[in-house]
Amino acid sequence: MSLYEWLLLLHLFAAFALVAGVTAYSVIVFSGADAAQRALAPTAAALWNVGGLGVIVFGVWLALEVEGYELWDGWIVTAIVLWLIAFAAGGPLARSVGDGSAPSEGGRARLLATVMILATVALLLDMIFKPGA
């Protein structure tokens, strides 16, 4: 397999981990159950962090590796901005889930989770359709 194929494969695996992390955090926040929070919190954090780091690292590497793509292409800049938005919401959410306050915070945790979900979905759509590429 070529370097491009390896990078793409790892980028896709990271995206799956990222979506799994978003899903786990959604279950924690929207179920409101303390048992779900205790059981899923470490898994959600691991998937979110590994997936997010992998997506940005392998995505930037792919953009540098592939002829015809540049880091300043509109859809790549959009992806980076959406990644930053998702992680700006995910950081505080992960801290509140980690210390056990997410279900009790209610509205704030739900808002952060919603921003994280919407930014991640928009990021996936941007990666799939590559507007302007």
Mean pLDDT is lowest, of 76-85, 104-113, 117-126, for: 104-113
Give CB contacts under 8 A, 24+ apart, made by 27-32: 28/97, 28/102, 28/103, 29/93, 29/97, 29/102, 29/103, 29/109, 29/110, 29/112, 29/113, 30/110, 30/113, 31/103, 32/103, 32/106
How do the domains of the chain map onto residue ranges? 3-129
Residue 39 has pLDDT above 90, yes or no: no
Q: What is the pLDDT of residue 54?
A: 98
Residue 36 has pLDDT above 90, yes or no: no
- Per-residue pLDDT of 53-101, as tens digits, reads 999 999 999 999 999 899 999 999 999 999 999 999 999 998 888 777 6
